[in-house]
Structure 1
Amino acid sequence: MADIIAPDGYRIHEDHIRIGGSRWVRSICITQIPNRVRIGWLDRLFSIGDVDVSIYLEKGKENEVLTALNREILDLETKLEQARRSYDTTQLSRLRKAHKDAWSLREAIQLGDNAMCYVTIVANVAADSRQELDHKCRMLEERLSGRGIHIREAFLQQADAYRSALPYGINFLEDSFRKNLDIGAATAGFPFNQADLAHENGIYIGTNLQTGGPVFLNGFLPPPAFSNNHMNIFAKSGGGKTTAIKEIVTRSLPQDIRSVILDWKGEYGIVTDALGIGINIVLSQSGERYILNIFEINEDVDEKGSRALYLNEHIATVKGLLTALISQAHKLELTIDEKVYLEEAIKEEYEAKGIHEGKPDSIYTSTPQRTGEESFILGKRKKEMPTISSLYERLSLNEAASRLCKCLSIFKHGQSLGLFDGQTTVDLQGEPIINLDLSRLEEHTARPMANQVVLHWVWQEFIKRDRTVLKRVIAEEAWSYLQREETATFLAKLAKTARAYTCSLTVSSQDFKEFAIHPIGSSVITNASQTILGLQEESDLEYIYEKYQLSEGEKRQLVKFKPGEMLIRLENAGSTLVKVERAEFEKPFISSSYLEERAGAG
């Protein structure tokens, strides 16, 4: 048996061992441990991948331990008195804490509730090349140092350290790297892990590929589970990204979680059509059915019910939006005077409607509205808002703003880019799913501009309304938002502020690398506490590996996934491999392959 499992040979170097012709191993030891540790404090070592770890525990003699603790307590009391006399408040706080911990530990040992032990932690880190080995060890050092854990390669002791990490149960290093820990801290370093991801009130995602258990994910858990409710979904074309989003949206319905989908390719309208609920808003340069007015404004109601109207902030946003649209459409920049004319005209438009800063009631009216010869709408309702056409008419009265008027003209109703001119014709109140389909807009100019307007409109009409309702905004093909600074910046704004409105931002894209190297894109995905990774391109692997500190095994799995297989990476909870599963009744509106088969059969 030994001959079968033994390598062809090995060569011992001062800082590594080469085993056979294709394996490089470096033996490392833990040399410093923080004063306080939590369960799983060695998880970053175990998750590096292709690593063997041995933890040697030797219980200390009680009389020796208590003698040492008494000596330490006496030393701390002396230092405390010195700190009091010198009024060193910084040292006082640290010493009091250390003194209290030492007293508590001595009492626990005397009562038999705890014990001190000598601990040696040694690991063999392996790789397929010397370059990869160096890279893994550097990454491991960075990961552990962030938790106050220091490692050191067993320099000139590689052979003894290597054998110590093997399952012999013999510590060949003896006292070289021995540290003192109490039993609780030592056992907290063992690789305990929750076998299954099963959040309370979570939605069913699929089956855990490692345990066979069901996976339930609740993305709206409060801290400390998640610092925010945002999610990233990355997978190459055909990697299950669209299917996962459809599952999350539809399975959230029983929990009253409302969803808006910014649908770049027109793939999600079938969900609202098949379910018979929600609304599918198809934006078109030729159609007039749906209008999203960029001048829409809503009051802001905080958690305590206090109302506010931030009109000046909104005016600045509308001005910036129109300035960006003009720049994109005409390839020119407005002059300082033109920007002043634009802001003044926008402000006058709201004043003409009787809408004022800090007065939320000013956006409502009780005047009866005629809807027919003998029919009226009575009661409180929102006023009609300014429009691009009314802004154009106001600016046309200013001769100095003639160039600005000319630039705005193509955004008027009936013109090539006039789809956002007019009173809003969409009411989102109560709709559980809102799909905003941008696929019919011209791809290179109209669609990117619509991205920007739609984000602004969703912020006003969906995110800011009713903080008591759980909401989700899904930015599909989110790489498109990084193509322009304005949309990238607004996406980053949502990532930072949406949580205050009980809203989750879900970023979905095929191209992880584009987000990783983009300064704004990188901050957006860093802000997410949940990430779902499907089948990936080889070119994205290193960026994903670095960003999420995956193990080597997890990294390799990302290019081997079968249809429906994904990795869920959660903040403070590690990774779960899952098989996303669909019930038969879900296939008509979730499974892309099902739809393609049906189309072929028809």
Structure 2
Amino acid sequence: MFRRKKQKQTLRQREYSLDDGIPAVQDLFIPDGLEEEKDYLYLGPSRYCRIFAISKWPRDVYVGWLDEIFSVGNVDLAVHVRPVPDRKVVNDLTGKVVSAQSQWIVEKNRGSIMRLPELENIIRDLETIREAIQCNRDRMFNVTVLIAVHGTNEEDLNARCDRVEDILARRATEVRALTFRQVEALKSILPAGNLCVHGRGTFRNLTLGGTATVLPVSSAVLSHPTGVFLGFTTANSPVFFDPFIGPPWLPNQHITVFGYPGSGKSVTLKVLCGRISLVGVRVIIFDLEGEYREALKNLYDGEIIPVVAGVPAGMNPLEMEVERDPETKKEYININDKVADVRALVATIVRGFANRPLEPEEIAVLEEAVRELYAERGITSDPASLYEPGGKKLPEGGFAIGGVRKRMPMLSDLHAKLQEKPATEKLCLILKPFLRGNSLGMFDCETSKDLTAPVVVFDLSRIRDDFTKLYAMFVVLTWAWHKFALRHTGKKMVVIDEAWMFVKWPDSAQFLETLARRGRKHDTGLVIASQYVEEFLAREEGRTVINGCATNILLGQNPTVVDQVVEVFKLPKGMGERLQTFTDGRCIIKTGGKNLQEMGGNIAEMQVSVLPYEMPFVRTGGKGEPQ
């Protein structure tokens, strides 16, 4: 008797505690109110809902084929799976096989051959499924998929519903709004496990594999069998990324990373560079703000090469290197490409200083002068022409046994050669500040640097004005491309932070596009990163650079450009709203190129994960969080 009284007292106390403010589980998903219209529900202030059921399914489905509907925003997916007894499945399939075979015989006897291939496919599919179930290799399920779309008002609700229907229409899938059955549908999508919607057109028989494809797994296509760990998708699935994996995953190894200040762009780049260097990829980084010093010192095995205005940098833009043909493996000297690089460099200088392009006469004279400089030194397409015979006395004393590398022409040599040409007074005047001893003469020198470390950071943080930074980046990139990308074998990555400077002028933007095209042949990936995506979107050259990159990482974007971002990157419209809310390394990663969207599964929302030992050296916000 005493034990019973104690139990009753405990129950009364529990009831009192619930009434005292502790919510029940049902309170977490019960709406504020409920008013049913013919094809939507009113659930409270600024809460409208319409529920669809998939009525027509595509013939072929794949893992993650429904994931894109979540990009619309405010979309819930409820999947009800009910097993069907094997005996009933086998009997029904046998009846369908007999019916299809009978129809095939009738059509053949009539002499009508139009439907015979279709009937043969149906018979073959049915027999394959029946055999798999009879041998206990597969199961059959009744699957009901309900899609609930939410909006703040009727207009917003209708717009989101249109987007969902458009996405599914591209996959040969039809949905029906459950007219006059919205309340039963609402009960079916609540997390109570109840299915209150029945009837023809609300379910589909699927095998075990087909049922698995209905579950939302965003990273199914994004995660590569090789590569480095980047983070987790919204489904908490890990994302492993290998930019060099090649087709069919990626057509090229180039990457774009765009995000406004504070979105996590710098942290994402540092994490990516550090991890891919650990798997044997050689990396060079252009650091405009001095952000990579701590990461290089504590995480990377590399070196820093500072570039200071007016101080010889030890890099000669006219330096010539041996290039290896990726197909024939034959070594040669590519004078034509070097002439094109020098022409692009001078064109960028003239554009920045005189605000005009190179004139046709200047282009012709410039190309002639560059070729003459190499011809005077006996440099041809033969790699041996870079060296003089051994046995000669060296400037520092002693004699060389092997070949001695010839002295390469410098900018001062080019300037002197141009002065000998007619109608080059203006061009020579523009180039004068870039000669040795002047404020921009840091590259009028012989090469004394070498790129042997696994990770090399070019620190340009001491250069203040934008044009000098662009000029320094242009020269260093040209020099490093020949010393690094074309000289060394194996996988390589060139990271250009704040690459928006290159697309300000057509000549430098075209140069960037050329490097991307040439890098694909030499196992060199190009990472284009910038805070100002609008600089790329506003110019055709910038869009061309974006379209040439197979992987796009989009962090938080400003509301003023988000619509353009969605259009250029071929994103679903609903992702524009998500991009405006991203911070601290949350991003959208899109792989496969702009023309592969129809394949599905190549877009996912991801959170870049920074490991505890990385955090002190990659953070830039000063609060221990990715910025």
TM-score, structure 2 as length reference? 0.76
2:354 counterpart (286, 309, 330): 330
Check 1:434–1:24 CA distance in 2 against 1; reply closer, same or farther (3 A cut): same
Structure-2 residue corresponding to 1:350:
374
Structure-2 residue corresponding to 1:172:
197
Check 1:341–1:449 CA distance in 2 against 1; reply closer, same or farther (3 A cut): same
1:107 counterpart (128, 135, 145): 128
2:310 counterpart (286, 294, 304): 286
Matches within 5 A, 1:109-148: 109-110=130-131, 112=134, 113=137, 120-148=144-172
The answer to whether the aligner puts 1:66 opposite 2:97 as a matched pair is yes
Q: Report the residue type matching 2:449 in the other structure.
A: V
Check 1:466–1:65 CA distance in 2 against 1; reply closer, same or farther (3 A cut): farther
Q: Report the residue type matching 2:369 in the other structure.
A: A
The answer to whether the aligner puts 1:184 opposite 2:209 as a matched pair is yes
Check 1:41–1:201 CA distance in 2 against 1; reply closer, same or farther (3 A cut): closer
Structure-1 residue corresponding to 2:589:
569
The answer to whether the aligner puts 1:374 opposite 2:390 as a matched pair is no
Which has the larger displacement, 45-54 or 439-448? 45-54
Say whether the 8 Å CA contact 1:281–1:290 is kept in structure 2: no
Unaligned runs of 5+ in 2: 1-23, 592-601
Unaligned runs of 5+ in 1: 84-90, 597-602
Deviations 1:463-489 (A, max 9, x none): 22334x221111112333332233333
2:494 counterpart (473, 489, 492): 473
The answer to whether the aligner puts 1:414 opposite 2:444 as a matched pair is no
Check 1:321–1:200 CA distance in 2 against 1; reply closer, same or farther (3 A cut): same
How far apart are 1:124 and its partner, in Å? 1.1
Matches within 5 A, 1:127-526: 127-151=151-175, 153-154=177-178, 162=186, 165-166=189-190, 169-170=194-195, 172=197, 174-176=199-201, 184-192=209-217, 202-203=227-228, 217-272=241-296, 278-294=302-318, 296-357=320-381, 359-367=382-390, 370-380=393-403, 382-428=405-451, 430-467=452-489, 469-512=490-533, 514-515=535-536, 519-525=540-546
How far apart are 1:82 and its partner, in Å? 5.2
Distance 1:537 1:6 in 2: 35
Distance 1:276 1:375 in 2: 39
Distance 2:565 2:461 in 1: 29
How far apart are 1:121 and its partner, in Å? 3.3
Q: Which has the greater radius of gyration?
A: 2
TM-score, structure 1 as length reference? 0.79
The answer to whether the aligner puts 1:34 opposite 2:58 as a matched pair is yes
Residue identity (%): 27
Say whether the 8 Å CA contact 2:232–2:606 is kept in structure 1: no
Q: Report the residue type matching 1:569 in the other structure.
A: I
How far apart are 1:452 and its partner, in Å? 2.8
Structure-2 residue corresponding to 1:87:
none
Distance 1:118 1:128 in 2: 33
* SS of the residue 2:150 aligns to: strand
Which has the larger displacement, 510-519 or 331-340? 510-519
Say whether the 8 Å CA contact 1:207–1:578 is kept in structure 2: yes
Distance 1:26 1:253 in 2: 49
* SS of the residue 2:456 aligns to: strand
Check 1:81–1:325 CA distance in 2 against 1; reply closer, same or farther (3 A cut): farther
Say whether the 8 Å CA contact 2:81–2:143 is kept in structure 1: yes
Residues paired across the two proteins, number:
578
Which has the larger displacement, 278-287 or 575-584? 575-584
Distance 1:80 1:184 in 2: 38
Deviations 1:372-403 (A, max 9, x none): 35224443465433322222222222233333
Matches within 5 A, 1:93-104: 99=120, 102-104=123-125
Distance 1:401 1:320 in 2: 17
How far apart are 1:322 and its partner, in Å? 1.4
Distance 2:226 2:212 in 1: 31
